[in-house]
Structure 1
Amino acid sequence: MRERGRTRRLMGLGARTGGAMLKTRLGGQADWRALGEALFEGLSELKGPAMKMAQVMSQWDDLLPADLSEELARLQRQAESMPWPRIREALVLQYGDLDAHFRQIEERPFASASMGQVHKALTYDGDTVVLKVQYPGLAEVLESDLVQLKRILRLGRWFKVPQARLDALFEELAAGLRNELDYQAEARALARYRERYACEPRLVIPEPLPELCGPHVLAMRFVDGTPLRELEDADDTTRQAVAQTLADWITRELFTFCELHADPHAGNFAVDARQRLIIYDFGAVIDVPHERLTAMMGLLKATLDQDPMAMDDAMMALGGRQGQGAPLSLYREAAECVAPLFEPGEQDFGDVRVHRRLRELSPKVWGAMDRLQPPADTLLLSRALNGHYWNLVRLKARLDMHARVAPLLDSAGLASPR
């Protein structure tokens, strides 16, 4: 689609989204299912930053209306693939004569995503590799797409989100999207993580192939596995082993290396026959400064103590509060929802009662947006943690979060939770 037509279509989707939000704000009932279907159809075809943003939103299961969330979630597993001739153009631009490099390239994609799609190939040495191919022309339309996304984000003013905060959120989102177009940086991240976890027997990270990598194509050895999203009906032993590995890895990333894998899309993870967790995609890895981590642990400690005043102090320290009047009753309800997950002993992440209560809080959270604001420099971090949490939910994880969190709070200079 030409850039002008693409912009016009994004503007139309933005206007439709804004209309639904305005109707809800005025006390009406929006047709979230119809909006979700329209967004799925339009963004699946357009791909790029707008589709990526919708995938991010779909991971906020506890904030979005259920019908809208369900439709957007389809973008994570049913997105339209780009026709092979366009992908072949990108491969020829990278390699020149494809027959000189590969014995065979499968025209049907192995996976499709918002910024690129993956094709399996066979080298003349007999190795099966995967080629992550950036959609042709994506870099050229990125900035015009971001202009439209910025306009859509401005709808947040209807929920009393200050313009300065919206601008800061946009800049963090934009930086993350631009970074995801740098496939050479992702190849370096793959190599770094392979070295970091070389002695971890429960993790598998594919090997990048530098001689076949370029600005718009990332090549790595093929590692077969069952996608994480297909494990919901797996046997309990497998699910619990994978959940434990995922939780251990996230904890180590944050508290040992001060980094976090920031694209928890379930399609980026799989499990091999030995129950090892495979991590395919490293296009989004973010630094987590120690002081930011300490402030977040302060909020967790106050939440586990179910102390609304301390929660407000922690929110202020995070930059997540403004205006007058702390929403103490909302803090109290939120703490009552979250605290049970951190009680001593194994807690069941598959317990739908917890998620139902969180979803019931969503209207109250939106209603308090004049005082509660997402910290401007933690958009990607919050999104990543939320997405990893929902992956644990889908695995029906049973984890002793009390035992996991207590030493971390102690090391941060905070007392263990009651």
Structure 2
Amino acid sequence: MRERGRTRRLFGLGARTGGTLLRSRLGGEADWRALGEALFEGLSELKGPAMKLAQIMAQWDDLLPPDLADELGRLQRQAEPMPWEGIQRTLVEQYGELGDNFREIETRPFASASMGQVHRAVTHGGDSLVLKVQYPGLAEVLEGDLAQLQRIMRLGRWFKVPQARLDALFEELAASLRSELDYHAEACALARYRQRYAHLAGLAIPEPLPEFSGPRVLAMRHVAGTPLRELEGADDTLRQRIAATLADWLTEELFVHGELHADPHAGNFAVDAAGRLVIYDLGAVIPVPEAHLKAMMQLLDATLAGDPMAMDEALRRLGGRQGQGAPLALYRDAAEAVAPLFAPGPQDFSDVRVHRRLRDLTPRVWAAMDRLQPPADVLLLSRTLNGHYWNLVRLGARLDMHARTRPLLAWARR
């Protein structure tokens, strides 16, 4: 990766994005599809921080113009792989002569992401593995990419996004990317999660293989599965079972262990032949303090009660709302939008009326960010839970969230 060339390419993509935003702001015809295609092509090739940001933005289904969201969504499932020659160099640095360790390594990856790609391999003993390989040179260009990305993100002010919100998003992204380069930490997370959730029969987490792993290669046993995004037309019984497993796992993650899988895009999840939910990527796991959980549940409690003042107080306990002027009307409308998901009995996550209310609310939430002022860790928590929510939507989940949250709300009141 040549830093000057990357900088010029990122600058060019930023300029094109800025031009499209300016035409939109001035009332002109904005070709969001063309911009999305250009970003997909450029970011697929560049990888790294800018591609990661685009993947994060694509998780907010209700934020971007639909044509732009569709193209950015392709980065989660169709990103162009890095040529084998670059990946091969990293593997040779790790293993030496590849034939000494493997009977076969597929040169075409079966998954490509922002920071690395995954190749299947077979050992001489016949074991089927996957090798998650970090893109060569990524660590060396990361900080330069982040500096350019911070400049590009200033364009968000044209969407009337407060600078504090942009700064918090950038810091969240930077911390996440730096941590994702640590494959040793991800291997430890895989081992920890396998042991921790062994009692969940509907969950499968690949086994890390330290003897084949190194600083830029993470080896795991291969667990084949159908990607979550391809299950929309699958058998309803299977989808409901997977949705319940996902909800059970997330609840235990948060309220028993105080952690959360923080990269919820659908490409990180699959369903294996036994009908288990497979979690492929644990490069981003965040701690969630108990105080945050209690304040979050108190905010939900106040929301379901339709109490704007209690909602504002709960947001303050989360570390937000340092400024003046509580947006009480926004709180009331948010309560009306959210409440149907928590009504007694199974609620249909595919109900378009709920999505429409949430989408209509989003611009008002962003416009009030200067008053809401949520801290960076709360923004990360919110983004992550939003991503998991949309995974439940894709599954067409029908869950009794009233019954699921009642004991958690009682715990938060104590």
Partner AA of 1:372 in structure 2: L
Q: Cα distance, 1:364 vs. partner?
A: 2.2
- Per-residue CA distance 1:120-174 (angstroms, 9 max, x = gap): 0110111010000011111111111100121123334456655455434422321
- Per-residue CA distance 1:326-369 (angstroms, 9 max, x = gap): 22222222211110000000000011111122112223223323
Label 1:138 to 1:157 Cα distance change in 2 as closer, same or farther (>3 A): same
Mapped contact 1:118–1:133 kept (Cα < 8 A): yes
Q: 3-state DSSP class of the match of 1:103?
A: strand
Q: How far apart, in 2, do the equivalents of 1:110 and 1:161 lie?
A: 37
Q: How does 1:61-210 map to 2 (within 5 A)?
A: 61-158=61-158, 163=163, 166-210=166-210
Q: 3-state DSSP class of the match of 2:396?
A: coil
What residue is the counterpart of 2:269 in the other structure? 269
What residue is the counterpart of 1:298 in the other structure? 298
Label 1:109 to 1:367 Cα distance change in 2 as closer, same or farther (>3 A): same
Q: 3-state DSSP class of the match of 2:413?
A: coil
What residue is the counterpart of 2:281 in the other structure? 281
Q: How far apart, in 1, do the equivalents of 2:66 and 2:334 lie?
A: 19
Label 1:21 to 1:191 Cα distance change in 2 as closer, same or farther (>3 A): same
Q: Cα distance, 1:17 vs. partner?
A: 2.6
Q: How far apart, in 1, do the equivalents of 2:362 and 2:380 lie?
A: 20
For structure 1, which segment, 142-151 or 364-373, has the greater mean C-alpha deviation from structure 2 after superposition? 364-373
Q: 3-state DSSP class of the match of 2:372?
A: coil
What residue is the counterpart of 1:339 in the other structure? 339
Give the root-mean-square deviation of aligned CA atoms: 1.8
Partner AA of 1:6 in structure 2: R
Q: 3-state DSSP class of the match of 1:104?
A: strand
Partner AA of 1:85 in structure 2: E
- Per-residue CA distance 1:221-262 (angstroms, 9 max, x = gap): 111111111111001000000000000000000000000011
What residue is the counterpart of 1:242 in the other structure? 242
For structure 1, which segment, 38-47 or 26-35, has the greater mean C-alpha deviation from structure 2 after superposition? 26-35
- Per-residue CA distance 1:287-329 (angstroms, 9 max, x = gap): 0011111111121111111222222222233233343322222
Mapped contact 2:165–2:369 kept (Cα < 8 A): no
Q: How far apart, in 2, do the equivalents of 1:236 and 1:161 lie?
A: 39
Mapped contact 1:169–1:377 kept (Cα < 8 A): no
What residue is the counterpart of 2:354 in the other structure? 354
May I ask how many residue pairs the two structures share in their alignment? Answer: 414
- Per-residue CA distance 1:8-53 (angstroms, 9 max, x = gap): 1111222333344445455656332222222111111111111011
Q: How far apart, in 2, do the equivalents of 1:36 and 1:179 lie?
A: 28
Q: How far apart, in 1, do the equivalents of 2:296 and 2:247 lie?
A: 17
Q: How far apart, in 2, do the equivalents of 1:90 and 1:412 lie?
A: 49
Q: 3-state DSSP class of the match of 1:396?
A: coil
For structure 1, which segment, 375-384 or 401-410, has the greater mean C-alpha deviation from structure 2 after superposition? 375-384
Partner AA of 2:109 in structure 1: P
Mapped contact 1:229–1:267 kept (Cα < 8 A): yes
Partner AA of 1:54 in structure 2: A
Q: 3-state DSSP class of the match of 1:377?
A: helix
Partner AA of 1:238 in structure 2: L
Partner AA of 2:283 in structure 1: G
What residue is the counterpart of 2:406 in the other structure? 406
Label 1:188 to 1:102 Cα distance change in 2 as closer, same or farther (>3 A): same
What residue is the counterpart of 1:57 in the other structure? 57
For structure 1, which segment, 80-89 or 301-310, has the greater mean C-alpha deviation from structure 2 after superposition? 301-310
Mapped contact 1:37–1:71 kept (Cα < 8 A): yes
Mapped contact 1:253–1:259 kept (Cα < 8 A): yes
Q: Cα distance, 1:390 vs. partner?
A: 0.5
What residue is the counterpart of 1:382 in the other structure? 382
Label 1:27 to 1:306 Cα distance change in 2 as closer, same or farther (>3 A): farther
Q: How far apart, in 2, do the equivalents of 1:168 and 1:341 lie?
A: 29
Q: How far apart, in 2, do the equivalents of 1:196 and 1:88 lie?
A: 34
Partner AA of 1:67 in structure 2: D
Identity of aligned residues (%): 77
Q: Cα distance, 1:216 vs. partner?
A: 0.3
Mapped contact 1:49–1:177 kept (Cα < 8 A): yes
Q: How does 1:310-329 map to 2 (within 5 A)?
A: 310-329=310-329
What residue is the counterpart of 2:227 in the other structure? 227
Question: Where does the alignment leave 5 or more consecutive residues of structure 1 unmatched?
Answer: none
TM-score of the two chains, using structure 2 as the length reference: 0.95
Mapped contact 1:173–1:379 kept (Cα < 8 A): no
Q: 3-state DSSP class of the match of 1:122?
A: strand
Q: 3-state DSSP class of the match of 2:10?
A: helix
Q: 3-state DSSP class of the match of 2:256?
A: helix
